Amino acid sequence: MGQVSGTRWAHGCELLEYRYGPDLLPGRADGGPAGMWRYRALLPVDPGPIHYPVPVGGTPLLALPGLRAVTGVPELFVKDETRGPSASNKDRATALVLEGGLRTGADTITTASTGNAAVATALGAAAVALRSVIFVSTGCRPDKVGLMRAAGAQVFALADGYSAAVELSRAAAREFGWLDRNTGVNPYTTEAKKTVALEIWEQLRRQPPDVVVAPVGDGPTLAGLAKGFDELLACGGIERLPRLIGVQAANCQPLVRAWAGADGSATSGAPGDPASGATTIADGIAVTRPTAGALALDAVRRTGGAMVAVPDDALSAAGATLLRYGGLGSEPAGAAGLAGLVAALAGGLVDRAERVVVMLTGRELAAGPTPVPEPAAPVIEPDLDAVRAALADHPRN
């Protein structure tokens, strides 16, 4: 206890250190801040009031009798991360990045995304009156682009795909001094996601589950879960780590291939391009070159877990099962956790007698009764001069 521990994140962009000990964990009767800020002693947030105004975190851990019966897992729980403002697990990362930005006087936040992270960024920026500039692939779903624009984001599309969108977003952040929220690149995105593990621990009466199953795209969700449980261990809150099982779509499974030793290049840290051979209904995890792939695979290895791939029909079936037996809406990527559990049970990776937590990471979100702006985002070239011209030609609405 009390040791200093540092972790260097993807691209070596920052070293975050904490002095671990039981005093950093909230007490059983602690009536402190709600949601993810309950764990601020383990977050890179300086003392003082929290400025981010929208509640984030504190999502329920659901024991659903119908789902337990149909899966044959009597101690199955669903961690429902769809209860936040953007209906996805991207809200935690957005909140922590914006909280840091508000404390340093940022006026613009940028990210590239396959969809959900950009929607969360647009909504979060609107909540704190910051400008958001978002870069997507031309293959990004029009309804999600429309939702970003309805929240006031300036959205630009690149024909070169997600990889080019990430590179341009990061270059623009450096050039114009914008806040960089890119997943797996900004370490705060993983720091925020570790609070899911801390919540699960408290919701299970300060005990770890045996297994956590989660969808994996870029990798920070799995890496964040691992870091949360690692820190619980370092603080004396738990005596063992749960096994982590990552789930990818069969049509886009770079980390599953890397796990099996077929393609080590999948962990290189280069951002992915969903348009490059990835044809899956699970657009939220359709990333061919995950930014935090090495961290995700390390989390799986260290915990004795596994990586599994599931076909699109299994993703659709999992979504239908969540609705029919749990009353929970989901998008295909969000339902990948349940589809992965079914595959893991069939493959002998999980025993039905174990205590299992499945992550539900996203559901569809409509813009509401107000008209959605024309969803087509302007297509630009992947260079900073094109960004300057686009910002001048398409001012914030």
pLDDT digits (tens, 9 = 90+) for 52-107: 999 999 999 999 999 999 999 999 999 999 999 999 999 999 999 999 999 999 99
**Phi, psi torsion values for 50, nearest 5 degrees:** -80, 130
Looking at the DSSP bridge assignments, the partners of residue 212 are 244, 357
Cross-sheet strand order for the sheet of 211-215:
61-62, 76-80, 356-360, 211-215, 243-249, 306-310
- Which residue ranges make up each domain of the chain? 61-87+187-360, 90-185+368-393
Report whether 189 contacts 97 (CB < 8 A).
yes
List phi, psi (to 5°) of 263. Answer: -155, 80
What pLDDT score was predicted for residue 333? 94
Q: At what angle do helices 142-150 and 116-128 cross, to 10 degrees?
A: 10
Per-residue pLDDT of the chain (397 residues; tens, 9 = 90+): 334 344 433 333 455 677 899 989 988 766 666 799 999 999 998 888 999 999 999 999 999 999 999 999 999 999 999 999 999 999 999 999 999 999 999 999 999 988 889 999 999 999 999 999 999 998 888 889 999 999 999 999 999 888 889 999 999 999 999 999 998 789 899 999 999 999 999 999 999 999 999 999 999 999 999 999 999 999 999 999 999 999 999 999 999 999 998 544 443 333 333 434 458 999 889 888 898 899 999 999 999 999 999 999 999 999 999 999 999 999 999 999 999 999 999 999 999 999 999 999 999 876 665 555 555 789 989 999 999 999 998 877 6
What pTM did the predictor assign? 0.90
The single-letter code of the amino acid at 16 is L
The reported pLDDT for the residue numbered 11 is 31
| CATH architecture, domain 90-185+368-393 | 3-Layer(aba) Sandwich (3.40)
pLDDT at residue 343, rounded to an integer = 98
Q: Which two tokens stand for residue 122?
A: 């647009």
| Residue of 370, 305, 363 lying closest to 334 (CA atoms) | 363
Q: Distance (Å, rounded) from C-alpha 210 to C-alpha 241?
A: 8
Strand partners, 357: 77, 212
Which residues are registered as beta bridge partners of 50? none
Q: What is the 3-state secondary structure (H, E, C) of 189-227?
A: HHHHHHHHHHHHHHHCCCCCCCEEEEECCCCHHHHHHHH
Q: Is the dihedral of CA 95, 280, 143, 386 positive or negative?
A: positive
Bridge partners (DSSP) listed for residue 63 = none
* Residues 10, 291: Cα–Cα separation, whole Å: 7
Could you give the CA distance from residue 386 to residue 253 in angstroms, rounded to a whole number?
Answer: 33
| Pairwise CA distance, residues 161 & 196, whole Å | 30
CB atoms within 10 A of CB 346: 10
What sign results for the dihedral spanned by CA atoms 312, 314, 316, 322?
negative
Residue 218's nearest CA partner among 329, 294, 160 is: 294
CA distance between the termini of the chain: 52
Cα 85 from Cα 92, distance rounded (Å): 10
DSSP state of 110: E
Measured CA distances, 23 to 44, 191, 215, 237 (Å): 16, 19, 32, 10
Side chain identity at 115, as an amino acid letter? Answer: G
pLDDT digits (tens, 9 = 90+) for 82-95: 999 999 999 999 99
Listed residue (362, 69, 59, 355) closest to 213, CA to CA: 355
d(CA 154, CA 131): 8
Class of domain 61-87+187-360 (CATH, top level): alpha beta
> 358 with 341: CB under 8 angstroms?
yes
What pLDDT was estimated at residue 33? 67
- The token duo for 91 is 């809200």
Residues 353 and 216: their CA atoms lie apart, in Å, by 25
Say yes or no: do domains 61-87+187-360 and 90-185+368-393 share a fold: yes
Instruction: Return phi, psi of residue 379, to 5°.
Output: -95, 130
Three-class SS state of 81: coil
How far is residue 287 CA from its own chain's centroid? 13
